[in-house]
Structure 1
Amino acid sequence: MMSDWLEELPPAAREYLEGKRLDEVECIIPDLPGIARGKAVPATKFARQEYFHLPDSIFYQTITGEWGDAAGADGFIEKDMILRPDISTATAAPWTGDWTLQVIHDAFDRDGNPVEYSPRNVLKRVVDLYRAQGWEPVVAPEMEFFLVARNLDPAHEIKPMMGRSGRPAAARQAYSMTAVDEFGPVIDDIYDFAEAQGFEIDGITQEGGAGQLEINLIHGDPVRLADEVFYFKRLIREAALRHDCYATFMAKPIANEPGSAMHIHHSVLDATTGKNIFSGPQGGETDAFYHFIAGMQNHMPDALAVIAPYVNSYRRYVKDHAAPINLEWGRDNRTTGIRVPLSGPASRRVENRLAGMDCNPYLGIAASLACGYLGLMEQKKPKAEFKGDAYDGDGDIPQVLGSALDLFEEATTLHEVLGPEFARVYAIVKRAEYEEFLHVISPWEREHLLMNV
């Protein structure tokens, strides 16, 4: 059985193990925040098991480890899910001390039905809705993150890491190759880990923040790209730890610096012809192109609690700070929330610039695709293209998580696309998390209110 399983591995995993003895397999599944949950098992045991169990309560946890009251009619009995491996996701864990593979699993109930609130299943559901219409959605995520100094006390502000020059990483050095060189050893390990895992990086650039980098991935199937972002977050963290720093995917880790986004580029292909449905026979923009944009404008406010899932997420939406504040759309305009990049007809695409890097990649991509899908089905027209600086306009998205959750909880049309049971669980867990945050008294409040009000 072991040899049969090893023969099914993706090429990169087989190459990684060539001439080696596999020691361990990490059986993992992403939870609502996107944390890898699961268990590590000896390779010989993994070869014998078709599935393993974890309690469904892993999807009811907040980011702090508390639980939302989302168990449903059965009550909080922590019933087991059946987790089955997707061998196509098998990849190396090259930072470990032995020869280890990671394998992403999918969650099913005892009757063999997909667990609706498992994030990977949510994305698969949305992709299946596209395919039922004869469409193949294509996405390309961009990952922004900060390399920061070790932070051992949450009461202390997060600071940029020290570069190889011995100076803290500098801000406002976007696209600087010198700035990228400051993090050379970390980036080298990121490349090495990615190569061992079989991931192709389209490029690494310095962004505008101090120690802020961006990695672009090659476009492709939404589930596969979400798997890669899920894996990348872990490998980038591991690479940073080797060099006495942290990698953080917080939306806004450092005050007065830009935030970190997960910009998502979308196109949709006709499943029969392979042609981009956003472009007509003569290369012009089609009705479907405009309908997709309209769907994002009409439904993104309802989806914001998914693509901006934490209180910190909303600190990123600051006028003139490299993040959108509204849902205007424009061609080659980075001030709009919805951007149409320069491209030829075959690669015409729509970029969602609102999603934060702190979102679960499966849920962020699912929510973004869901908005576009609703637009394609509703066939409405978008607002007129915005010309000029969109920061000059008023913001039209929620400014705090509580308001975003209010919209999400009422968005039954969006729930039908993402899955009503997912929407129920997600709303309960995020509301519990938000209310937990409201019990925290911040340093700003102590500084300005203690003696003055």
Structure 2
Amino acid sequence: MSWQTKIPPAAQAYLESNRLDEVECVIADLPGIARGKAVPAAKWENQAHFHLPNSIFFQTITGDWGEAAGPDGFLEPDMILKPDLATATPAPWADDGTLQVIHDAFDQKGRPVGCAPRNVLKRVCDLYAKEGWTPVVAPEMEFYLVGRNIDPAKPIEPMMGRTGRPAAGRQAYSMSAVDDYGPVIDDIYEFAEIQGIEIDGITQEGGAGQLEINLRHGDPVALADQVFYFKRLLREAALRHDCFATFMAKPIEGEPGSAMHVHHSVMDAKGQNIFTGKGGGETDAFFHFIGGLQEHMPSVIAVIAPYVNSYRRYVRDHAAPINLEWGRDNRTTGIRIPISDPSARRIENRLAGMDCNPYLCIAASLACGYLGMMNETRPDKRWRGDAYESEDDIPQGLYAALELFDEAKEMHQVLGEEFARVYSIVKRTEYEEFLHVISPWEREHLLLNV
């Protein structure tokens, strides 16, 4: 039972009051879906690793497969998945005592699997470490609570609030709107506390049934783990109250999209923020990080906006940036510098959608900043005023975004050549699947008019 001394305090506290029945051994695939095995507790205690086929990283969001197996063909060899005990956390919605543990993927020679999303993020963090830097991130998660939707042909609708009316839109920061989902939020807080996840705040956003949850800043891998866990937590809390939590970038026509804004800072070996100089001013590293985001973000839009639906969020004058301008305390720019003390100086990337894989999103954003600092890339002049008046800098669709991703050889070296190869194949397969679907818009406007 020595493993129990190596798990976080929240998991230890859970086991003090719950008999452990099962351990869920999980790993995130390319979309960020939890794959893995549920193992009886007695077996878990004698298990150092388990196996899954490498084909889990070749699956599209629909469950189909991309031809990404490589020259040896689709043999589906087993990977070795090893637990990271620091990620152990309860599953408080389970009927019996259950822990979740995130695993890392290795091939049979002990090498990290290059297309595993958590390994991609670790690879980027290692590049920072080689320069004596430690990246720090803080994600902001937007999502919708919606009515149960069991018929894909029907539009998604806001959830029913305690008033008996559908959740109201255009009520950003309304405390009454937050109270409308009180029972769901109570379960979110309870689950998060049991799991040891520290919430920095919950606010009502501009959409009908749209909320934002902020997490405390910290290590990029640990924060990505929390977002990965939090998506499941939110879904389970919603299901208890006859509604769905959705992380689609644009779930409801006419309502704002849902983003995952990521705040970045970088510490040196002494724990000092390298974006701030001795006199409290902004450093070259600060501007180079911004320059890297501006230079390289178009090439990773396919990673931070990974679905055809993602691009419905990038609408001018509709609560999502469509540019790569940077500005101070300006929410119309894609890159925002929030108000902060010099020691907490940070850069906010506002472009990612909440439908992203958190490991890949954070890895891509940090990779852009890393290349900016390594290449000493200078940013454009600070934008003043409404940045919706600037040029559109976002690819208009997944296919165009993938074209830019495939051309970004320098970015591939940072994220990993194997990841870049597999990701492109899987996403192109997914796009081709989408082209087989005929939408209601096409039936309405083309059936009898063309």
TM bucket (normalised to shorter chain) is over 0.9
Residue 314 of structure 1: which of 290, 311, 316 is its match?
311
Deviation digits for residues 304-356 of structure 1 (CA, Å, limit 9, x no counterpart): 00000000000000011110011000000000000000001100000000011
Q: Specify the alignment match of 2:443 in structure 1.
A: 446
Residue 270 of structure 1: which of 258, 262, 268 is its match?
268
Residue 54 of structure 2: which of 31, 53, 56 is its match?
56
Amino acid corresponding to residue 285 of structure 1 in structure 2: E
Deviation digits for residues 413-437 of structure 1 (CA, Å, limit 9, x no counterpart): 0000000000000000000001110
Residue 14 of structure 2: which of 10, 13, 16 is its match?
16
Q: Specify the alignment match of 2:81 in structure 1.
A: 83
1:70 alignment partner, SS class = coil
Determine the C-alpha separation between the residues in 1 that align with 2:118 and 2:352: 17
Segments of 4+ in structure 1 off by > 3 A? none
Q: Specify the alignment match of 2:294 in structure 1.
A: 297
What stretches of structure 1 of length at least 5 have no aligned partner?
A: none
1:263 alignment partner, SS class = strand
CA RMSD of aligned residues (A): 0.5
1:48 alignment partner, SS class = coil
1:104 alignment partner, SS class = strand
Amino acid corresponding to residue 317 of structure 1 in structure 2: Y
Determine the C-alpha separation between the residues in 2 that align with 1:427 and 1:380: 27
Q: Specify the alignment match of 1:331 in structure 2.
A: 328
Amino acid corresponding to residue 278 of structure 1 in structure 2: F
Q: Specify the alignment match of 1:360 in structure 2.
A: 357
Residue 392 in structure 1 maps to residue 389 in structure 2: yes
Residue 25 of structure 1: which of 23, 26, 36 is its match?
23
Q: Specify the alignment match of 1:181 in structure 2.
A: 179
Q: Specify the alignment match of 1:348 in structure 2.
A: 345
Determine the C-alpha separation between the residues in 2 that align with 1:48 and 1:221: 30
Deviation digits for residues 176-196 of structure 1 (CA, Å, limit 9, x no counterpart): 000000000000000000000
- Offset of residue 20 of structure 1: 2.8
Q: Specify the alignment match of 2:433 in structure 1.
A: 436
Determine the C-alpha separation between the residues in 1 that align with 2:390 and 2:379: 17
- Offset of residue 226 of structure 1: 0.1
Superposition pairs of residues 212-231 of structure 1, within 5 angstroms: 212-231=210-229
Determine the C-alpha separation between the residues in 2 that align with 1:411 and 1:332: 30
Determine the C-alpha separation between the residues in 2 that align with 1:130 and 1:71: 30
Determine the C-alpha separation between the residues in 2 that align with 1:354 and 1:9: 34
What stretches of structure 2 of length at least 5 have no aligned partner?
A: none
Determine the C-alpha separation between the residues in 2 that align with 1:393 and 1:443: 33
Q: Specify the alignment match of 1:192 in structure 2.
A: 190
Q: Specify the alignment match of 2:142 in structure 1.
A: 144
- Offset of residue 405 of structure 1: 0.3
Determine the C-alpha separation between the residues in 1 that align with 2:190 and 2:70: 45
Residue 70 in structure 1 maps to residue 68 in structure 2: yes
Superposition pairs of residues 93-112 of structure 1, within 5 angstroms: 93-112=91-110
TM-score (structure 2 length as normaliser) = 1.00
- Offset of residue 394 of structure 1: 2.3
Determine the C-alpha separation between the residues in 2 that align with 1:62 and 1:343: 40
1:29 alignment partner, SS class = strand
Question: What fraction of aligned residue pairs are identical, expressed as a percent?
Answer: 75
1:124 alignment partner, SS class = helix
Determine the C-alpha separation between the residues in 2 that align with 1:315 and 1:390: 19
Determine the C-alpha separation between the residues in 2 that align with 1:19 and 1:188: 21
Residue 370 of structure 1: which of 361, 367, 370 is its match?
367
Determine the C-alpha separation between the residues in 2 that align with 1:227 and 1:394: 35
Superposition pairs of residues 224-239 of structure 1, within 5 angstroms: 224-239=222-237
Amino acid corresponding to residue 388 of structure 1 in structure 2: G
- Offset of residue 392 of structure 1: 1.5
Determine the C-alpha separation between the residues in 1 that align with 2:190 and 2:19: 20
TM-score (structure 1 length as normaliser) = 0.99
Determine the C-alpha separation between the residues in 2 that align with 1:114 and 1:39: 20
Determine the C-alpha separation between the residues in 2 that align with 1:396 and 1:231: 32
